[in-house]
Amino acid sequence: MASILVIEDDLTFSRILEGFLKKHKYSVQLSHKGKEGVKAFSSGSFDLVLVDYRLPDATGMDVMLEIKSISPETPVIIMTSFSDIRTAVKAIKAGAFEYITKPVNPDELLMIVLQALKKEKRNISEVSVAPVTNGAFVQGKSVQSEQLHEYIRLVAPTDMSVIIEGESGTGKEYVARTIHQQSKRSKQTFVAVDCGALSKDLAASELFGHVKGAFTGASQDKTGQFEMANGGTLFLDEVGNLSYEVQVKLLRAIQERIVQPVGSNKEIRVDVRIITATNDDLQESVRKGQFREDLYHRLNEFKMRVPSLRERHDDVEEFLNFFRTSANKELGKNVIGFDDEVRSIFASYDWPGNLRELKNVVKRAVLLTTGELVHAEAIPSEMFAAIKELEAKGKPAAPVYDLKALQEVQEREMIVRTLKEARYNKSKAARILNIDRKTLYLKMEKYGIE
Ligand SMILES: Nc1ncnc2c1ncn2[C@@H]1O[C@H](COP(=O)(O)OP(=O)(O)OP(=O)(O)O)[C@@H](O)[C@H]1O
C-alpha cells in the first residue's frame, strides 16, 4: 500500500483528502504545518507528498525543496488555491512532480497521484537509445514552426553545440531530441539531464560519475552521463543552474573531450555532442558573472529559440487535437472535440505554461468530460479569472491577484458541478453546498446559471 504524506493547514480539507485517499487504499498521514511536515517526512517512509502552497509557517515550495534535499526521488505534488500558474510552473521547474489547483477535483487528484506513484515524469536524467519518432509529435504549420524546423534541419547534421532558448514548456527537449534524430549520431544514445533538479553536490557526480568512497553515500562506482552519452548527444536542460565549479569541469570536458569521475585520477575520453536549453537569459548571467563566458561561447555555436504558444496561434488547433487524441487513448475516453465556448477561452488565454500547460488542461478536460464535447465546466476555473484580468487590462494576462474574481469563478464552478451531481435537484444541491435554497437561487441568478 503506497503511503502519502499530506501537508495542509486547512483541517477540514485535509480530513476530506485523508478520507478520499484512504478510500482508494492509500495509507495517509496528515501534517498541518510546513516544519512539522518535513519532520514527519524525515522520520517516516513515504512514497508521495501532497503539500499546500500556503502554509502558516512556510510556502509549499520551501517544503518541497527540503523534502527533495532529504529524498530527491520522492514525488511532491503542490496544491494551490491561487490561480498563479507561474508559481506552479516555477515549482515544477524546481522539482515538483505536478501542481493541482483548488478546489481539488477528486478524479484529477487521483490521476495525478497514480502518475506520480508510477513516476511518469522523467527523473533527473534519462537515457534513450531509441528516441521517440517524429510521428508522435506535432510539427506545426505556422511560420514560426516552419522556421524552427528549418533551423533544426540545417544544424542537425553538423556537430555544432546548440543552445535552445524558450519559455518553460515550449518543447525545448522535443527540439533537442529531433536534432539528435536528424543527426549522424541518431543510432547512438541521447541522454537528457535536468540540471535544474541537480543539487550542487550531486551535479558533478551525475555528469562525470564517481568512484566508490569518493564521498559519503558513494557506496559504489557510478558512470556519469557524459560517458553514457559517448558517441551520441548529451542534452543539458536548464544549464544556467550549474554551479561555477561544475561549469569549469564542463568546459574541460567539452574542450579536451576528457572527463574525470569524482574521486578518481582516471581520465576518460568522450565524444559527445552537447545541446543545452535554458529559459533564463544566459547572456545576462554571463554579464552578472554567474555563468562563465568561455563556456557560454563553447555552447553557443548555434542558437535557436522555440516560440511560445502565444506566438504559434496557427498551431493551436493541431496541438489541441493531438493532445485530445493522446488523452483519449490514455484514459480510455472518446471525446471528439471542444465546444465553442471552450475554443474561445483557449483562444483568449495566454498559456504561460505553454505546451505543457495545454497538454495538462486538455488531459484534465478529457478526464472530466462524460459526453463527446468538452464544455466550460471541465476547464480550470483560474483560466476564466486570468482571461477576465486580461480583458480588463487589455494586455496579456498577468498573475491574478483579484481574489474576489477568482473566488466568484470557483464558486460558480462548484455550484454548476454540485447541481449536476444532484441531478439539478436544488434542495439537494443546497444541502451539499451547506447553504439554504434561497442563497442558492440568488447565487444562480448572480452567475447566470440556468
Ligand atoms: N511538437 C510537439 N508535439 C507534441 N507534444 C509536444 C511537442 N513539443 C513538446 N511537447 C510536449 O509538451 C511538453 C513540454 O515539452 P518539453 O519538456 O520538451 O518542454 P521544455 O521547453 O523542455 O520544458 P522545460 O522548460 O520545462 O524543460 C511535453 O509533455 C512534451 O511531450
Residue 298 pLDDT grade (very low, low, confident, very high; cuts 50, 70, 90): very high
Distance of CA 379 from the midpoint of ligand 1 (Å): 21
Nearest CA to ligand 1 atom 23: 169
- Predicted confidence at residue 51, as pLDDT, reads 94
Residue 411 pLDDT grade (very low, low, confident, very high; cuts 50, 70, 90): confident
Distance of CA 389 from the midpoint of ligand 1 (Å): 27
**Residue range 36-84, pLDDT digits in tens:** 999 999 999 999 999 998 889 998 889 998 998 888 889 999 988 655 5
Same domain for 272 and 203:
yes
Same domain for 10 and 74:
yes
Tell me the CB-side half-sphere exposure of residue 156, using CA atoms within 13 A.
18
| Residue in the structure block whose three cell numbers are 527540439 | 175
Same domain for 360 and 231:
no
What is the average per-residue pLDDT within 1-14?
Answer: 91
Does the pLDDT value for residue 352 go beyond 90? no
* CATH code where residue 206 lies: 3.40.50.300
| Residue 133 CB partners (closer than 8 Å, separation 6+) | 181
Domain around 37 = 3-118
Residue 132 pLDDT grade (very low, low, confident, very high; cuts 50, 70, 90): very low
Nearest-atom number in ligand 1 for the CA of 137 is: 3
Paired strand residues for 89: none
Peptide bond just before 72 cis, omega within 30 deg:
no
What is the average per-residue pLDDT within 229-241?
Answer: 93
Distance of CA 322 from the midpoint of ligand 1 (Å): 13
* CATH code where residue 331 lies: 1.10.8.60
Residue from 144, 173, 282, 360 whose mutation best tests the ligand 1 pocket (most atoms within 8 A of CB)? 173
Does the pLDDT value for residue 86 go beyond 90? no
Domain limit, last residue, from 99, 118, 137: 118
Same domain for 318 and 252:
no
Of 151, 148, 197, nearest to 355 (Cα)? Answer: 148
Residue from 86, 356, 361, 363 whose mutation best tests the ligand 1 pocket (most atoms within 8 A of CB)? 356
Domain limit, last residue, from 97, 118, 139: 118
Mean pLDDT is highest, among 206-210, 214-218, 230-234, 339-343, for 230-234
Same domain for 247 and 150:
yes
Which three three-digit cell numbers place residue 368? 472530466
Other CB atoms within 10 Å distance of the CB of residue 437: 12
Nearest-atom number in ligand 1 for the CA of 174 is: 18
pTM for this predicted structure:
0.69
What is the average per-residue pLDDT within 340-363?
Answer: 90
CA end-to-end span of the chain:
44
Nearest CA to ligand 1 atom 19: 171
Residue 26 pLDDT grade (very low, low, confident, very high; cuts 50, 70, 90): very high
Nearest CA to ligand 1 atom 29: 356
Same domain for 277 and 331:
no
* CATH code where residue 106 lies: 3.40.50.2300
What residues line ligand 1, using a CB cutoff of 6 Å? Answer: 137-138, 166, 168-174, 237, 277, 279, 322, 355-356, 359
Same domain for 299 and 182:
yes
Number of domains forming the structure of the chain: 3
Same domain for 169 and 61:
no
Nearest-atom number in ligand 1 for the CA of 196 is: 27
Does the pLDDT value for residue 134 go beyond 70? no
* Mean pLDDT estimate for the chain: 86
Same domain for 294 and 166:
yes
The answer to whether residues 66 and 36 touch, using CB atoms and an 8 Å cutoff, is no
Distance of CA 356 from the midpoint of ligand 1 (Å): 6
Residue 336 pLDDT grade (very low, low, confident, very high; cuts 50, 70, 90): very high
What gap in Å lies between CA 13 and CA 35, rounded to an integer? 19
Nearest CA to ligand 1 atom 10: 171
Same domain for 397 and 342:
yes
Distance of CA 245 from the midpoint of ligand 1 (Å): 29
Distance of CA 419 from the midpoint of ligand 1 (Å): 37
| Residue in the structure block whose three cell numbers are 477540514 | 12
Residue 210 belongs to what H/E stretch? strand 209-210
Rounded alpha-carbon distances, angstroms, from residue 269 to 114, 183, 297: 42, 21, 22
Of residues 28 and 417, more confidently modeled: 28
Tell me the CB-side half-sphere exposure of residue 91, using CA atoms within 13 A.
29
What is the average per-residue pLDDT within 386-390?
Answer: 79
Domain limit, last residue, from 61, 86, 118: 118
Same domain for 424 and 324:
yes
Same domain for 142 and 16:
no
